[in-house]
């Protein structure tokens, strides 16, 4: 099967990249045995723009995508976060290749109005939509569109989440939080309160906030590799099975992960994996309890890492998206279909 994967490949960041779910999807597609062709819409727009004229570059990028579809003859087009690509272009692609299935994958939260509108707009021209939020919220938001809706998890890949903090009792950082965005959130109030409430014995690093620079690429890898525990604080909590991708990044690297109970991950993850909290006092007590019982920290973190790598790896993730997109029988009981 030939697949055309449209996503931002971060070519112009020259290595200082964010951990990319799109890259994991591409890795998973290749490992699952598919013939994958990548199209990086933002980078093509920049490369095609004469004299830095972005509107011209965007127009040419859409034209290049149609040229690539003609050359590749894909059975499936997966359009990720690719705002340069217009709905008109996807509609034209489908007109030229009526047998090609086109789907949209979206890893951003529904509480951001612009993203909710983006998904609704893509639903007008695609066969199915995959979002990293649970089906309950997806049906409420987009059930009336008639498009097929699927939850997709945040995956891990052993070439990216390659560390295992659960295997070490000797790490310099006890707790880490990485988060830069302040839009649609008040989570930094919780982080600030926790910084003040934790005793000095707990080494707590906050990257990207409180005057500390963000970390990207290898610097981000190192920040996780040297940490025992991590905070998975979404910009807003309470949407079923929604999480920032950092949960997979931390859990897949063997950190003990603290996440809010209202997101319902206790119905997806096995017991003694993620640590759930309901309020700031609850979170403080949990952090201190695991800080003072390192054997328990290592056990729970190891269980989480194993679950991610065995049940939510990029190969399973990619195979699920293809099977669901093509309406094929599922080849196995994916954990997130329960």
pLDDT tens per residue, range 216-255: 889 999 999 999 999 999 989 999 999 999 999 999 999 9
Residue 116 has pLDDT above 90, yes or no: yes
Residue 186 has pLDDT above 90, yes or no: no
- Mean pLDDT value across the chain: 95
User: How many whole angstroms separate alpha carbon 326 and alpha carbon 31?
Assistant: 18
* Span between the terminal Cα atoms of the chain, in Å: 27
Helix pair 87-96, 54-72: axis angle to 10 deg = 20
More confident residue, 180 or 314: 314
pLDDT score, position 134: 95
User: How many whole angstroms separate alpha carbon 309 and alpha carbon 316?
Assistant: 10
DSSP letter, residue 250 = H
Q: What is the pLDDT of residues 19-40, one digit of tens each?
A: 889 999 999 999 999 999 999 9
pLDDT score, position 190: 94
pLDDT score, position 51: 81
| All domains in the chain, ordered by first residue | 2-155+312-337 (3.40.50.2000), 165-311 (3.40.50.2000)
Residue 35, phi then psi, degrees to nearest 5:
-90, 105
pLDDT score, position 248: 97
pLDDT score, position 184: 62
Q: Provide, rounded to the nearest whole percent, the portion of the chain with pLDDT above 70.
A: 99
More confident residue, 203 or 10: 203
pLDDT score, position 22: 93
Determine the distance from the C-alpha atom of residue 282 to the mean position of all C-alpha atoms in its chain, rounded to a whole number: 26
Given a contact cutoff of 8 angstroms between Cβ atoms, the answer to whether 204 and 194 are in contact is yes
Residue 212 has pLDDT above 90, yes or no: no
Residue 209 has pLDDT above 90, yes or no: no
Residue 304 has pLDDT above 80, yes or no: yes
pLDDT score, position 12: 79
* Arithmetic mean of pLDDT, 44-70: 92
pLDDT score, position 181: 64
pLDDT range class, residue 77, cuts 50, 70, 90? very high
pLDDT score, position 16: 75
pLDDT score, position 101: 98
pLDDT score, position 182: 67
Residue 257 has pLDDT above 80, yes or no: yes
* Arithmetic mean of pLDDT, 188-217: 92
Given a contact cutoff of 8 angstroms between Cβ atoms, the answer to whether 212 and 160 are in contact is no
Closest CA to 154 of 266, 268, 297: 268
User: How many whole angstroms separate alpha carbon 185 and alpha carbon 260?
Assistant: 14
pLDDT score, position 15: 77
Provide the 3-class DSSP secondary structure of residue 10. Answer: coil
205 forms bridges with which residues in the sheet?
176
């Amino acid at each position: 099967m030939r697949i055309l994967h449209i996503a931002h490949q971060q070519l112009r960041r020259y290595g200082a990249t964010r951990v990319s779910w799109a890259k994991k999807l591409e890795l998973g597609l290749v490992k699952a045995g598919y013939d994958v062709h990548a199209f990086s819409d933002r980078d093509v727009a920049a490369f095609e723009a004469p004299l830095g004229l972005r509107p011209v570059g965007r127009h040419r990028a859409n034209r290049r995508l149609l040229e690539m579809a003609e050359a590749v003859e894909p059975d499936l087009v997966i359009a990720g976060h690719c705002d340069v690509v217009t709905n008109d272009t996807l509609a034209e692609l489908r007109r030229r290749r009526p047998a090609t299935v086109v789907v949209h994958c979206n890893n951003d939260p529904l509480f951001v109005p612009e993203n909710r509108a983006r998904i609704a707009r893509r639903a007008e021209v695609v066969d199915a939509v995959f979002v990293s939020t649970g089906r309950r919220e997806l049906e409420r938001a987009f059930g009336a569109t008639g498009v097929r809706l699927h939850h997709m998890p945040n995956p891990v890949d052993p070439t990216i989440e390659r560390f295992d903090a659960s295997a070490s009792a000797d790490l310099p950082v006890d707790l880490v939080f990485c988060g830069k965005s302040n839009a649609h959130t008040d989570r930094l109030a919780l982080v600030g309160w926790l910084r003040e409430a934790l005793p000095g014995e707990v080494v707590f690093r906050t990257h990207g906030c409180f005057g500390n620079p963000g970390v990207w690429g290898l610097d981000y890898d190192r920040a996780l590799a040297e940490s025992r525990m991590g905070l998975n604080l979404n910009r807003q909590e309470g949407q079923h099975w929604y999480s920032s991708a950092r949960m997979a990044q931390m859990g897949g690297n063997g950190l003990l992960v603290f996440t809010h109970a209202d997101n319902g991950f206790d119905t997806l993850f096995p017991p003694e994996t993620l640590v759930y909290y309901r309020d700031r006092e609850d979170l403080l007590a949990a952090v201190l309890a695991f800080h003072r019982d390192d054997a328990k920290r290592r056990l729970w973190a190891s269980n989480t890492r194993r679950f991610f790598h065995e049940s939510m790896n990029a190969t399973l993730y990619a195979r699920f998206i293809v099977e669901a997109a093509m309406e094929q029988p599922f080849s196995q009981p994916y954990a997130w279909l329960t």
